Amino acid sequence: MKLKPADLLELCTLAAIWGASFLFMRLGAHEFGPVVLAALRVGIASLALLPLLALRQGLTELRSHARPLCVVALLNSALPFALFSYAALSISAGLSSILNATTPLWGALVAWVWLRQGLTPLRVLGLLLGFAGVVFLAWEQATFKPGGSGFALLACLLAALSYGIAANYTKKRLSGVSPLAVATGSQLYAALMLAGPAALLWPAAMPSAKAWGGALMLALLCSALAYILFFRLMARIGPTNTIAVTFLIPGFAVLWGWLFLGEAFTLRMAFGCAIVLLGTALAVELIRRRAPAG
């Protein structure tokens, strides 16, 4: 499918927004804590999305598809949001975003194991290359001693795996549900899941205006608006084209981290990112071997 200029602009906008999410998590995670920040993100986002769904008379979909929406809420929002917020405590926005770019690799692997989707030799090569890039990136940083970043790196990879499972589950169980209902339900049910733990872990000291700003931007921009764009693109241009947003997110995350947090982007990170993205492109068949002519 040939993408229209409007579709490309929307993809770039979505990548810029999700790239900024790693910046906003860095702003809020230290003061709120990972679980509370994730709960605020999905709670405020659901409050913003519910009136829109009500205007379109789609609230009945939240009840009729409650069980699969709860699964998606856990795997696509509650768990990965908390894990990436935890990673933001100790690693840069750029590195988190590069590890997030492994999501299509995990999605392809899950589809092969769970849905029995075949893997061509090129896709296998892509998986091997992608995970080799992750190992290259983490080799010098994956220390599990106090103050090390090993657990943060594992948290990012677990979050990406969770996204990969959620994508396949959504395709299998929620393909007939409206994009806005999936976006709203995933945020609402995630908020209900995280409400209890967030109440127990609420910080003793009131977080600063900067931390609250990060939480609000995560909720309204990076969740409510971003998920509307994401599921609308899924419905309009298909999942294969939409997944291309993953390739653009690290560039924006690195840019925002450099501009606003003074984070460095090393040659090692650039090389590892290139390996991960090449492997991902092969694994999701954005790069294919041409059939011989005739």
Three-state SS annotation for the chain: CCCCHHHHHHHHHHHHHHHHHHHHHHHHHHHHCHHHHHHHHHHHHHHHHHHHHHHCCCHHHHHHCHHHHHHHHHHHHHHHHHHHHHHCCCCCHHHHHHHHCCHHHHHHHHHHHHCCCCCCHHHHHHHHHHHHHHHHHHCCCCCCCCCCCHHHHHHHHHHHHHHHHHHHHHHHHCCCCCHHHHHHHHHHHHHHHHHHHHHHCCCCCCCCHHHHHHHHHHHHHHHHHHHHHHHHHHHHHCHHHHCCHHHHHHHHHHHHHHHHHCCCCCHHHHHHHHHHHHHHHHHCCCCCCCCCCC
Query: What is the separation of C-alpha 110 from the centre of its chain, rounded to a whole number of angstroms?
Result: 16
For residue 205, tell me if it sits in a domain.
yes
Ramachandran angles phi, psi of 202, nearest 5°: -60, 135
Between 118 and 240, the more confident residue is 118
Q: Taking the model in full, what pTM does it have?
A: 0.86
Domain count, the chain: 1
Any domain includes 196: yes
Does residue 291 register a pLDDT over 70?
A: no
Is residue 34 assigned to a domain?
yes
pLDDT of residue 202 exceeding 90: yes
78 domain-assigned: yes
Domain that holds residue 251: 5-283
Chain centroid to Cα 123, Å, comes to 22
Token readout for 13 is 């906008």
> In this structure, what token pair is assigned to residue 193?
């899941």
What share of the chain in percent tops pLDDT 90? 45
Of the given ranges (75-89, 141-155, 262-276), which has the lowest mean pLDDT?
141-155
- Rounded Cα distance between 2 and 4, Å, is 7
* Within a domain: 294: no
Mean pLDDT of 153-168: 91
Question: Of 127 and 90, which is predicted with more confidence?
Answer: 90
Question: What mean pLDDT is reported for the chain?
Answer: 87
- As given in the structure block, the two tokens for residue 263 are 């984070």
Q: What is the pLDDT of residue 3?
A: 67
Above 80 in pLDDT, residue 57?
yes
Determine, yes or no, domain membership for 127: yes
Q: What is the pLDDT averaged over residues 47-60?
A: 94
Q: Is it the case that residue 243 has pLDDT exceeding 80? A: no
Mean pLDDT of 119-143: 77
For residue 292, being part of any structural domain is answered with: no
pLDDT at 280: 77
pLDDT of residue 131: 82
Question: Whose structure tokens read 């209890």?
Answer: 196
Least confident interval from 48-62, 96-110, 181-195: 96-110
**pLDDT attached to residue 140:** 62
Looking at the domain assignment, is residue 290 inside a domain? no
Q: Between 217 and 167, whose confidence is greater?
A: 217
